[in-house]
A and B are shown apart, each in its own frame.
Chain A
């Protein structure tokens, strides 16, 4: 009898997880289907929409890759992402180290203050920032995004790195300094190599957060050739009023999956940042 109960419990567990996985992933399955379906199959309301009623086709992919700006969106996203990663690292690593090592009184307040700025949403900042970037002559330029995206990567990544640096015992640096390294040398030669996983996490997040960003890109950029994937795909792959569903879904899918795979590996660390390191 206990075996039966256990089996039923397992069954229930799989059903529950299956239902949630279905709910989470179905829109992406839907993208896969649309990507490879012929237009005729896609737009016949009587066809079973879950199956290929006609042989699959690569036409939508060809249109996406050769007749749209999709590859430009990808390159733009890549450039913006890389630049934001570099700026974030250059600013957040020293700040986090400083807060982790010398934080007493004011330092702790400052750390919390930096974290709180993460809660000031782009929906409040985008109007003044749009004026600001255009007064610098950066309208329709990727530089406007590179300048503004660190507003959400720096606070979050500083906070995240601070947690990492705090887990490295001070003795290690002190020993290195006794052995003749300067504080800076101890930081760059001893502490940074030890916190490489923290730095890697920051690289991943600065990049994915930049790639996910929507409001600033929508507000600052309207020229098709300068768009990033997160706004290019939803706003440009529409001819007049007609959605090119096949290519649209292909674009959404191709841009989503790689970043989702990488992000999943780092998700737990991302959450450690959210819970403010309170849960170990």
Chain B
């Protein structure tokens, strides 16, 4: 269709001029994005750091520097320490479950079957619907009196009769008892991230060359051996990416805790993001809030570096 570009001195000169102009055009076209990102992400991030080193409150937002006092105060606060631990624990617990379940689910979705579109739609709902609205559904399912789970447990005799396995009370109070509240938060975190992890895993699984698996089968490798020696190593980078994004979203999420428990009962489900909100916005202590939120940063930075590394490795595969 197009011939090779004919080289002659005049055209080369024109091309150099064009390239100059193109360089300027390239910068002009990317400038708004850079300016916006610097102004609305870069500057606020620096501001967060400045707030954390000051004594700013909503009433008096002027910056008077107090050094690392806010970080010290946070670390001495038992609620903060609990939030920090909860954030790490909820994230790791939910994301380990998510990695296992999403691999299982992705393997199943790789097959062809009738009604795949509908099944996919239903499975993806927790991710595609607004999270605050989905969590409201859970709030009603975990209701202290009208929970359908309690109803089923009562129906099969595990709850609500003397000597029943789960006790003689009529309800379990999922969000009112610390152990159950923690499990509920982790469950909803799993529910929320599972679809995303599944689709990422699915992309990884479907990128494995079919002939590789077939060749291994011809050579007499058992299904287990094929999974262990081919599928897992080849999809490890993409599985890691799924895991790392799940970590980012769960680690920084406010919605699940805010809607289900507001950190209760008695702060047992408080996490860094919710504690930041309650201290910094509802309590009006901007400085403390900023300091608490910045405790998330080292983890996020580490995750970002790992994601970049993994992405490079996938490209090699």
Known contacts A119-B304, A255-B130, A278-B311; A148 and B280 CB within 8 A of each other: no
**A121 interface contact, C-beta 8 A:** yes
Is B286 a contact partner of A245 (Cβ separation < 8 A)? Answer: no
B307 to chain A, nearest CB (A): 8
Is B146 a contact partner of A130 (Cβ separation < 8 A)? Answer: no
- CB neighbours (8 Å) of B311 from chain A are 275-276, 278
One of B38-46, B67-75, B176-184, B210-218 at the interface? B38-46
Interface residues of A (CB under 8 A from B): 10, 13-14, 16-17, 20-21, 23-28, 30-31, 34, 42-43, 45, 48-50, 90-92, 94-95, 97-99, 101-102, 107, 110, 112, 114, 116-117, 119-132, 147-148, 150-151, 154-155, 158, 171, 174-175, 178, 183-184, 208, 211-212, 214-215, 218-219, 229-231, 233-234, 243, 245, 248-249, 251-253, 255-257, 259-261, 263-264, 267-268, 270-272, 274-276, 278-280
| Chain A: CB-nearest residue to B235 | A279
Is B113 a contact partner of A264 (Cβ separation < 8 A)? Answer: no
Residue in A98, A119, A130, A183 whose beta carbon sits within 8 Å of that of B300 in the complex? A119
A158 to B41, CA, bound (A): 15
Is B122 a contact partner of A24 (Cβ separation < 8 A)? Answer: yes
**B126 interface contact, C-beta 8 A:** yes
Is B136 a contact partner of A233 (Cβ separation < 8 A)? Answer: yes
Q: List 5 A-B contacts (CB under 8 A).
A: A10-B113, A17-B108, A124-B293, A215-B277, A267-B128
B233 to chain A, nearest CB (A): 15
A233 to B133, CA, bound (A): 7
Is A271 a contact partner of B254 (Cβ separation < 8 A)? Answer: no
| Chain A: CB-nearest residue to B207 | A279
Is A92 a contact partner of B33 (Cβ separation < 8 A)? Answer: yes
- Count of inter-chain pairs, beta carbons less than 8 A: 289
Interface string of B180-217 (1 = CB under 8 A from A): 00000000000100111001100110010000000000
A90 to chain B, nearest CB (A): 8
B109 to chain A, nearest CB (A): 8
**B129 interface contact, C-beta 8 A:** yes
A119 to B125, CA, bound (A): 23
A67 to chain B, nearest CB (A): 19
Is B2 a contact partner of A49 (Cβ separation < 8 A)? Answer: no
B18 to chain A, nearest CB (A): 8
Residue in A95, A132, A175, A231 whose beta carbon sits within 8 Å of that of B2 in the complex? A175
Is A98 a contact partner of B30 (Cβ separation < 8 A)? Answer: yes
**B22 interface contact, C-beta 8 A:** yes
A41 to chain B, nearest CB (A): 11
Interface string of B1-42 (1 = CB under 8 A from A): 110000000000000001000110111011011101100110
Known contacts A127-B51, A211-B130; A264 and B124 CB within 8 A of each other: yes
Is A259 a contact partner of B128 (Cβ separation < 8 A)? Answer: yes
Is B137 a contact partner of A98 (Cβ separation < 8 A)? Answer: no
- CB neighbours (8 Å) of B130 from chain A are 211-212, 214, 229-230, 255-256, 259
Known contacts A27-B138, A91-B36, A214-B254; A120 and B259 CB within 8 A of each other: no
A94 to chain B, nearest CB (A): 4
**B82 interface contact, C-beta 8 A:** no
A78 to chain B, nearest CB (A): 14
**B84 interface contact, C-beta 8 A:** no
Residue in B45, B108, B127, B146 whose beta carbon sits within 8 Å of that of A43 in the complex? B146
B68 to chain A, nearest CB (A): 18
Known contacts A94-B29, A276-B311; A131 and B47 CB within 8 A of each other: yes
Is B128 a contact partner of A94 (Cβ separation < 8 A)? Answer: no
Residue in B129, B195, B204, B308 whose beta carbon sits within 8 Å of that of A259 in the complex? B129
Inter-chain pairs besides A25-B122, A131-B47, 11 sampled, C-beta below 8 Å = A17-B119, A20-B108, A24-B195, A120-B41, A121-B273, A127-B281, A212-B130, A219-B277, A234-B135, A260-B128, A278-B311
